[in-house]
Structure 1
Amino acid sequence: MFEPTSRYDELEMATFTFSSGREVVYKRRRFLPPAAEGTLLAEHRVTQGERLDQITARYLEDPELFWRLCDGNNAMHPEELTAAVGKKVRIFLPDT
């Protein structure tokens, strides 16, 4: 259903059955983990026009892992991290 690098890939599947007997299979809700979990790799200062996928590609070598930066900085919305020039974004490697 989701790519292996997706933040939703490892979520448990659930099933809801309507009174009509129809079943809907879905992924359970994902909650933000506590911020700053993992090993701090670097701190990055946002520059004018910089996007989160560019930052993620530079440090984690995969622009689709932007959600790891969101989790590590306790950001619900990715644009929060690059909205202000000079904002410090912490880059964490997940502890596995």
Structure 2
Amino acid sequence: MIEPYERALDDVPGAHPYPRSSRYHAVEIGVHRAPDGTGVRYAKRRLLPPLDEAAEETVPHTVSSGERADQLGQRYFGDPGQWWRIADANPVLDPRELTDEPGERVAVPLPGGFPGGTGGPGVRNG
């Protein structure tokens, strides 16, 4: 769990551009130099851990009609913005793919962390 004083670090100018709850928080930030010399910051590539390693760190969830990825994030992590953890475990790019078929089973990472996770509410780095 992130302490309130740690959240304040997310607002410090020059700090990492993504909050601690973001999937991009642990991603290295690069700087591209334009021909005129100005620097453009960007998030370097974010790789997912191998799914075979992650399979035992998940629990199944059966999708209900009308359910959305943000609702799953709220239910399992206490934060609707954490839907991306579930997307990473399945893996899907579009969060609608997680819940577009009622009755489909999706993998939900355990609070202990999905290998390669970046931490965040209720999630330890794994």
**Structure having the larger proportion of residues in helix:** 2
* Structure 1 residue aligned with 2:82: 65
Q: Larger RCO: Structure 1 or Structure 2 (Cα < 8 Å, ≥ 6 residues apart)?
A: 1
User: Could you tell me how far 1:19 is from its partner in structure 2?
Assistant: 2.2
Q: Which 4+ residue blocks in structure 1 deviate beyond 3 angstroms?
A: none
TM alignment of 1:1-96, pairs within 5 A? 1-35=17-51, 37=54, 39-40=57-58, 42-93=59-110, 94=113, 95=115, 96=126
Count of equivalent residues:
95
State the TM-score, normalized to the length of structure 1: 0.86
Q: Structure 2: where are the runs of 5+ without partners?
A: 1-16, 116-125
Root mean square deviation of aligned Cα: 1.6
State the TM-score, normalized to the length of structure 2: 0.68
**Structure having the larger proportion of residues in strand:** 1
Q: Is the 8 A contact 1:34 1:74 kept in 2?
A: no
Identity score, percent:
36
Q: Structure 1: where are the runs of 5+ without partners?
A: none
